[in-house]
Amino acid sequence: MLGGASVLILAVIANVAHAQTAPAMDEPPTSDDIVVTARGRSETLQNAPVSVTAFSGKAIDDAGIKDVSDFIGVTPNISIVKSQSAGNSFVTIRGISQVRNGESPIAVVTDGVQQISARQFTSDLFDVAQIEVLRGPQGALYGRNAIGGAILITTKQPTNDFHVDTQVSAGNGDDYRSELSISGPIVKDKLLFRLAGSARNFGGLLMNDYLGKTADWMHDRNVRGQLKAFLTDTLTADLWASYTDTRAIGGQFQFQGAKFASPTSCFLDQTNPFGGPAPDADRVSRRFCANNRGANHRRLANVSLKLENKADWGTITNVLSWIRVEESLAGDQFPYTASRNVFGTDGTQTQYEIDKSWQDDFRIASPSTDRFRWMIGAYYLRTDRFISTTTGFDNGMGIVPIRYTPQYSSTINPTLSFLADNNHNEAYAFYGNLSYDIVPGLEASAAFRYDHDHRHQMISPLSSAGIPAGCTAASTAACSREASFGQSQPKFTLSYKANTQLTLFADWGIGFRSGQFNQAGAAAAANLPGAFDLAKAETASTTEAGFKASFLDGKLRVNGTGYYTVDKNPFYFVFVGSVGAQILVNVDKVHLYGGEIEVLFSPVKGLDLFGNYGYTHSEIREFAFNPADVGNWAPYIPRDSGSIGAQYRLPATSDTSLFMRGEVEHHGKQYWDPENATARSAFQLVNLRAGIEAQDSRWSITGYVRNLTDKAYNAEFVSGGFVQPAEPRTYGIELRSSF
């Protein structure tokens, strides 16, 4: 099903289904059109000359989107791996990948504020008005890490009338969720507020057989507040604050090479502990055996202020934000069994990271209605980041959490290895955009951005490896190392609106992702050729062309894009379990090509047929780390992805409607290492939703099931046979009200 590059399946999620015929080029959008801000200006989805999939608030509700993986699963040419901890996720978009300890290949912007850490990305999605997924390099507008694309999240805004939205749900695995938002005026027409929050208690579905407890328990709490002030007729101020607290079980991996004493035992075979089967990305077990259940705690805090002045000549916008990201992880060490301290393994491991950042984005833009349009801006980011990683001897008495200081003499859980460093990073950028309507319908635009990133790492003299000569607690000058990275990011676009039913576009651009230091001592501990303390910066040059078309008075919409990318120095992750070393290396050059097609058909009122398909071909062209891998598929990249489904609304009574939705997600074949040693085969997931709702949208009752067939697959496979199985089937019921 949905299995090859030649398969054509249908597109875009159900929110687009409510749009009718696109407006004329000189007309404002109607209430049914999705308006996107992908290019920094408001324009309808069908007229925007960029490869973008958009989800309105109604579509988010219809599809039951609560997590980033929910909308990524139904968006072509983007995939996500969630593994290890609440904050760890790895996104691949059009073949540009993220790896563990690496930075994201996408810029994630929420209400104009860019996330500074990939650990923020997996926070709960609640009270969201719209999501836009942009494919292709977006660095000219969205800057750092937008090498593969951007995700724009817009939350629901304060209202001038009091409004309350609530939702509660219950599902298998003791999964209980609640959401609440309250909005209204403090001073009518002058000062508005919105307060929203969500909570989730999840008991878990995956079991640790040795401990008799779940391995995927999680409690999550989120709160967000916003004040919007209309200071003058032209000047507005928006103040946001948010906080997230997530507690979970972390580090729940399996090692496929472990040989157990018997099929039901959780202890290793002492005569041949690592004589298990060869690594296989398709081998799935939902059985965990670690003697340490593990712990994970993530806290996110964000305060942002946006000032915007709109005048006849243009708009001035400034967004200032402060962000704090903290996450700790403690768990069993490789090979994650009930045995302890086997040949220097199966002890404990911990990781602690804290990021404190502030950033400012200033831009001036001309009116969107002018024939000649321009935008200029500047950006600054300051980040202080500390990270420590340890292994420890397992006395069977639990895990001592380690942050800044190792506990070598602990009688409970003595530290065996400790790697730590402080990172003080500064980044700045200048950017601009020019657009000109050559003739009616024909637009040319040019954008340019220059990013500079300075990285300064201070190695902890308490580290057990990788300490430079002369680096001591009394003399820290020798503990320092620095590197700078800079890149120009031009982008040129030509678009032609042939008529109200057809838009054509083509563009070329360069994306950039900064280089970074590996944790001090990790490369030396791994002792691998090609592994260095510093990973190089990555650049990607992309050429793409696409179209957006409407037929049958807007009942049929077809959007398609093709692209070709030369990716230099993409990142690859290497894990050496015996020493807990986590290392980034560069693949020198990868070529990527492919495309997406999205189709929506609404043959009759209330019925929407939708789907999408994306294909990416990857080939390693240069790889000094292992030249034998040249010609192989690049790691982490699904060959294809897509979804197909239907949604139907029909009146039940004069006041109520029935709602039914079904979709199939397709996840393509994927290699996890440059050697192409083993692949996870393609698989499909079936999701269903059905319920009854008020026609005025004031309430709804919906039943849902995700992964209907309970498909077992590995969420992540790390070269060598380290795996984490994906979540089993989930189901439940949701109640929503609005007043």
Q: What is the pLDDT at residue 188?
A: 94
DSSP 205: S
DSSP secondary structure string for all residues of 245-257: EEEE-----EETT
Length reported for the chain: 739
Beta-ladder partners of 419: 389
| Separation of alpha carbons 716 and 288, rounded Å | 15
Which two structure tokens, joined as six digits, stand for 477? 């000058």
In the chain, what are the domain boundaries?
Answer: 14-460+486-738
* Sheet with strand 96-97: strands edge to edge: 78-82, 89-93, 96-97
The CATH number of the structural domain formed by 14-460+486-738 is 2.40.170.20
End-to-end CA distance of the chain: 42
Q: Are 365 and 315 in contact (CB under 8 A)?
A: yes
H or E element, residue 617: strand 607-622
The 10s digit of each residue's pLDDT in 149-198 is 999 999 999 999 999 999 999 999 999 999 999 999 999 999 999 999 99
> Which distant-in-sequence residues (6+ apart) come within 8 Å of 242 by Cβ?
222, 223, 224, 225, 300, 301, 302
149-155/106-110 β-pairing: parallel
- Backbone phi, psi, residue 526, to 5°: -75, -30
Name the DSSP class of 141. H
d(CA 107, CA 123): 15
- 537 vs 51: CA distance, rounded Å: 25
639 in helix, strand or coil?
A: coil
Global pTM reads 0.91
* Sequence-separated (6 or more) residues with CB below 8 Å from residue 381: 116, 144, 357, 358, 359, 425, 426, 427, 428
Q: In which residue ranges of the chain is pLDDT below 50?
A: 1-31, 579
Can you read off the two tokens belonging to residue 417? Answer: 């290895």
Please tell me the distance from the alpha carbon of residue 420 to that of residue 414, in angstroms, as a whole number. 17
Q: How far is CA 340 from CA 289, 345, 393, 577, 722, in A?
A: 12, 8, 8, 15, 18
Helix (H/G/I), strand (E/B), else coil: 524: helix
Q: For position 533, what pLDDT does the model report?
A: 78
Token readout for 403 is 């942050």
